[in-house]
Amino acid sequence: MLSVQHALERLRKLILTRKPLVVLITAGIITAILLNIPLSFLEAPLYDFRVRISHSQAALPDSRIELIVMNDETAKTLDQVLPLPLSYHTQLLEALGRYQPRGIGYLVDMSQVHQVDPDQFQGPWATRFVEAAKQLRERGTAFEIGTRFDVTGEIAPPYPLSLLPHAIAIIHKDGNVFASDKITRRALVTFNGAPSFHLDFARALGFSAPDATPNGTFTVPDLDASYFFFRYHGDTASKKSYRQRTFGEVIRGEVPADELRGKIVLISTVSRQNSNDFAFTPYSSAPYANPKLVIHANILDSIIHNEGLARVSVWSTAAITYALTALVLWGVLALTPLYSVFATLFLSVTLLLVGQALFDWRGLWLREGKPLLGIFIGYYLTVPYRLITEYSRRWEYQRKNEVLTQVEELKTNFLNLVTHDLKTPVARIQGLAEVLMRKANDRLIDRDRETIQSIVSATDELNHFISSILELSKVESQNLQLSIESKDVNQLIEKCALGFKAPARAKQIKLQLQLEPLFPIRIDANLISKVINNLIDNSIKYSRPGSEITVSAKEENEAWVRISVADQGIGLTPEEQENLFTRFYRAKNTRTAETSGTGLGLYLTRYFIKAHGGRVEVQSEKGVGSRFSIILPVAGPPETEALRPGLKNRIGNRIGSAVRHFAQE
């Protein structure tokens, strides 16, 4: 056990002496490990959480984008199967020409349309479809067909529709690049150097320069493709989404002429046979008629407004992870356990808030997984060390406590033994000296008489010191019992003052009383007499010859009695007043050096007064004088046990102070 404690103590001293270096090295190791671990399982939920709570202007859908769907209701009305023969698509395109939209993105799989009725692609319907598209383009309406994609690349629409502008339009579900949860977060920008449908359509609409790519575009060299993370806009639950219309509404002319003018129209089909078409969009709380079409709208919206999300570089992420990990390590080592918890939570919340702000207003994606793990790994690596070292220190304090307990008991027993054994011989010496003085006074010369008087005075001082030690032992052993009775405080003060008439007269000090009429109060008369005697005795000892000492008593607020002893003595400094009531303390000055005393009088005074439920106050100024006041309750001491500064309390205070000091390191 001792070897383990010794090793822990050496480790603690090493960390304390080399704390900055240990923190920096540990933070670097944690950061290096985290940078080499893929954390998509953590980054993906954090990314999705940001998207859901985003409230910036960029998260609002563009009202110019309109969606038209061919659903099962349409197929049932026309007695056809989706995605409908080419003739119906031609009629829709011709009907849209009358609304003068700004652009039409045709996201219907024309290969499937060809499978429904191949003959129509060889007849007039195909020609009319191509002509309708060319007329739209001649009138300034951008037109683009979205095509499918397989391992060979783009699957072009059947001839003659392949003569029209077309590009790959696929919904990319994350599977191996970012996460494996099949949620769409990124969109294709280019493949084999050719732009995707969304980028090419945005360029045709005039929202993107011919050589421009969305903000945050990144390349995947193995696929010869580039992608970007797009924003999701709006939510049907909050009634902020892209407006959707059906094929039948447009064909029948139920849409007002001005509602599609200048709009960007995206067209697609949806069938209940395809369950994926009816799935919820990843960040919406309500279902769309065609989630895939809504995702296409979000991708196009992000490109039009250049709202792609740019990922913070790996080196920036490493720097943030390193800094936050180092801060947590330092905080846990330097702060108290409670403050270190708050500091860790504060850093985590601040990181999340800053990341959300950058995400909303600057389109920067701060990947928080590594910094957050750095914070919590740093915390949970350091806390066990703090707990182990604290346990070690507490064990050490407990051992010292046991030693101190034994020392205190030995000291108390020694003092009791010495004081009891000294009291009898001192009393005999004093008695014999007084008898000798009385019987041989006439036959003694002045020098011998002074010698015997010095013996009497010295034994009197020694007897007073022994009595103080006995009272101290009684107090600390918790054997002090109060003998409460109703007493007239003024009578006690007059009796105490009478005993000091001679010493005061010898120093030419005027001792006067200012006593207001008081009702008897419940006190221990013996202890209060000792307190008053001690205060008057101190005032006489430290007062100048020819000065005055005033002892006063008055009632305060009908519940308290104030007894004050004011002198014109040497006074006390603020530093001396702070230690005045500690055991064996005496102010360090020439006057106290010349005056005998034990340093226990005021310590016992405060204890006796607190045992009565009262308090002691001191007002003093160096060179001017002092006023000592004791305030006692009229109703007597409280029924609860009085304050007892015994052995357990003193040792407990020492242990508590040591533990608090360790907690603050």
Biggest CA pair distance of the chain: 161
Q: Is the pLDDT of residue 93 over 80?
A: yes
Q: Which residues contact 437 (CB under 8 A, 6 or more apart)?
A: 444, 449, 452, 453, 456
Query: Region 259-288: what's the mean pLDDT?
Result: 63
Query: Tokens in use for 332?
Result: 């846990």
Q: Radius of gyration of the chain from Cα atoms?
A: 48
Q: Report the Cα 149 to chain-centroid distance in Å.
A: 52
| Of the listed ranges 16-30, 320-334, 631-645, the one predicted with least confidence | 631-645
Phi-psi region of 465 (alpha: psi -120 to 50; beta: other; left: phi over 0): alpha
Say how far apart CA 240 and CA 247 lie, in whole Å.
22
- What pLDDT digit, counting tens, does each position of 35-90 carry? 888 888 888 888 888 887 777 666 788 889 999 998 888 888 888 888 889 999 99
Q: Is the pLDDT of residue 494 over 80?
A: yes
> Could you tell me the pLDDT band of residue 261, with boundaries at 50, 70 and 90?
very high
Q: Annotate 3-17 with b (16+ C-beta within 10 A) or e (fewer).
A: eeeeebeeebeebee
Say how far apart CA 48 and CA 413 lie, in whole Å.
74
Residue 236: the pLDDT is 44
Question: Residue 495: how many CB atoms within 10 A of its CB?
Answer: 13
Question: Residue 233: how many CB atoms within 10 A of its CB?
Answer: 23
Number of C-alpha atoms within 13 angstroms, CB side, residue 512?
7
Query: Region 350-359: what's the mean pLDDT?
Result: 91
Say how far apart CA 438 and CA 429 lie, in whole Å.
14
- Hey, is 595 helix, strand or coil? coil
Q: Give the relative orientation of helices 40-53 and 369-439 as an angle to the nearest 10 degrees.
A: 90
| Of the listed ranges 189-198, 297-306, 445-454, 619-628, the one predicted with least confidence | 445-454
> Strand 166-168 and strand 194-195: pairing?
unpaired
- What pLDDT digit, counting tens, does each position of 208-242 carry? 898 899 999 999 888 888 999 998 887 644 556 88
Q: Is the pLDDT of residue 13 over 70?
A: no
Residue 478: the pLDDT is 59
> Could you tell me the pLDDT band of residue 646, with boundaries at 50, 70 and 90?
very low
- What pLDDT digit, counting tens, does each position of 318-328 carry? 999 999 999 99
Phi, psi for 246 (deg, rounded to 5):
-105, 160
Residue 349: the pLDDT is 94
Residue 437: the pLDDT is 73
Say how far apart CA 29 and CA 378 lie, in whole Å.
11
Residue 425: is the preceding peptide bond cis (ω within 30°)?
Answer: no
Say how far apart CA 207 and CA 633 lie, in whole Å.
88
Query: Region 406-410: what's the mean pLDDT?
Result: 71
Query: Tokens in use for 185?
Result: 């977060």
Query: Is the CA virtual torsion 326, 329, 333, 336 positive or negative?
Result: positive
Query: Is the CA virtual torsion 191, 194, 198, 203 positive or negative?
Result: positive
Query: Region 548-568: what's the mean pLDDT?
Result: 90
> Could you tell me the pLDDT band of residue 137, with boundaries at 50, 70 and 90?
very high
Say how far apart CA 660 and CA 34 lie, in whole Å.
36
Do residues 76 and 70 touch, judged by C-beta distance below 8 A?
no
Residue 124: the pLDDT is 93
Residue 269: the pLDDT is 86
Q: What percent of the chain has pLDDT over 70?
A: 79
Nearest of 148, 124, 146 to residue 268 by alpha carbon? 146
Do residues 140 and 105 touch, judged by C-beta distance below 8 A?
no
Q: Is the pLDDT of residue 274 over 50?
A: no
Say how far apart CA 547 and CA 544 lie, in whole Å.
6
Say how far apart CA 145 and CA 166 lie, in whole Å.
4
Query: Tokens in use for 312?
Result: 């913070």
Angle at the Cα of 204 (from 149 to 239), degrees rounded to 5?
A: 80
Residue 83: is the preceding peptide bond cis (ω within 30°)?
Answer: yes
Question: Residue 579: how many CB atoms within 10 A of its CB?
Answer: 11
| Most trustworthy range by pLDDT among 304-313, 431-440, 646-655 | 304-313
Do residues 168 and 188 touch, judged by C-beta distance below 8 A?
yes
Query: Region 366-371: what's the mean pLDDT?
Result: 90
Residue 472: the pLDDT is 63
Residue 1: the pLDDT is 45
> Could you tell me the pLDDT band of residue 2, with boundaries at 50, 70 and 90?
very low
Residue 75: the pLDDT is 83
> Could you tell me the pLDDT band of residue 657, with boundaries at 50, 70 and 90?
very low
Q: Is the pLDDT of residue 484 over 80?
A: yes
Query: Is the CA virtual torsion 292, 363, 234, 207 positive or negative?
Result: negative
Query: Tokens in use for 658?
Result: 């040591």
Q: Is the pLDDT of residue 132 over 70?
A: yes
Phi-psi region of 335 (alpha: psi -120 to 50; beta: other; left: phi over 0): beta
Residue 153: the pLDDT is 77
Burial of 645 (0-12, 13-18, 19+ CB in 10 A): middle
Say how far apart CA 1 and CA 6 lie, in whole Å.
9
Say how far apart CA 11 and CA 388 lie, in whole Å.
11
Q: Report the Cα 7 to chain-centroid distance in Å.
A: 32
Burial of 525 (0-12, 13-18, 19+ CB in 10 A): middle
Q: How far is CA 543 from CA 160, 454, 502, 533, 595, in A?
A: 122, 23, 15, 15, 11
Say how far apart CA 528 and CA 632 lie, in whole Å.
10
Query: Which CATH number is associated with domain 481-643?
Result: 3.30.565.10
Query: Region 94-118: what's the mean pLDDT?
Result: 92
Q: Is the pLDDT of residue 661 over 70?
A: no
- What pLDDT digit, counting tens, does each position of 277-304 carry? 333 455 554 444 467 888 899 999 999 9
What number of H helices and E strands is found in the chain?
21, 20
Q: Annotate 81-105 with b (16+ C-beta within 10 A) or e (fewer).
A: ebbbbbbbbbbbbbbbbebbbbbbb
Q: How far is CA 280 from CA 131, 294, 323, in A?
A: 37, 11, 39
Nearest of 98, 105, 94, 92 to residue 66 by alpha carbon? 105
Query: Tokens in use for 310?
Result: 């740019």
- Hey, is 476 helix, strand or coil? helix
Query: Region 251-262: what's the mean pLDDT?
Result: 88
Q: Is the pLDDT of residue 545 over 80?
A: yes
| Most trustworthy range by pLDDT among 282-296, 487-501, 588-602 | 487-501
Residue 5: the pLDDT is 52
Say how far apart CA 567 and CA 548 lie, in whole Å.
6
Residue 277: the pLDDT is 37
Positions of E strands within 493-614: 510-515, 521-523, 548-556, 560-566
Say how far apart CA 107 and CA 193 lie, in whole Å.
21
Residue 443: the pLDDT is 73
Residue 587: the pLDDT is 63
Residue 352: the pLDDT is 92
Query: What's the mean per-residue pLDDT of the chain?
Result: 80
Say how far apart CA 13 and CA 392 lie, in whole Å.
13
Domain definitions of the chain by residue range: 23-56+309-480, 63-304, 481-643
| Of the listed ranges 47-56, 117-126, 351-360, the one predicted with least confidence | 47-56
Query: Tokens in use for 128?
Result: 């009319």
Q: Is the pLDDT of residue 143 over 90?
A: yes
